[in-house]
Amino acid sequence: MSQTPARDQIAKDIAENDVMLYMKGTPVFPQCGFSAAVVHVLSELGVKFKSADVLKDPELRQGIKEFSNWPTIPQLYVKGEFVGGCDIVKEMFESGELDTFLKDKGIKLENVE
């Protein structure tokens, strides 16, 4: 598969940021309910994350769908690994699995226990 600038950017983003979220809009102004839900989960857990707004960049929007062969946005990556979209992240959060997963990955959670 040929390397595109968007693909290179994604590879760099997920390598440099322990928790990387591809979303529509920004954490403060999400442009989609599914993106907002993932931001809410991460905030609830007190996870520091970096985000990229796919609405600002059509190449990134297409590129991220191809990168993990996943058709929808948002997409959450932890330590370079694709964790899932909104449904999976929410399900993992509700079962407490996400908390454990992040801790196992060495991600600091700043929520008050």
Partner 1 sequence: MAMSAAEIETAIRAALPDADVKITDLAGDGDHYAAMVISSAFKGKTRVQQHKMVYDALSGRMGGQLHALQLQTSVKD
Alpha-carbon distance of 99 to 66, in angstroms, equals: 28
Q: Which C-beta is closer to partner 1: that of 46 or that of 100?
A: 100
Q: Is 82 in the site for partner 1 (CB under 8 A)?
A: yes
Q: Which of residues 41-70 bind partner 1 (CB under 8 A)?
A: 65, 69-70
Alpha-carbon distance of 22 to 34, in angstroms, equals: 11
Please answer whether residues 74 and 19 qualify as being in contact, where contact means their C-beta atoms are separated by less than 8 angstroms: no
Structure tokens at 108: 């600091």
Q: Contacting partner 1 (CB under 8 A), which of 50, 57, 88, 99?
A: 88
Q: Which residues bind partner 1 (CB under 8 A)?
A: 34, 65, 69-72, 82-88, 91-92
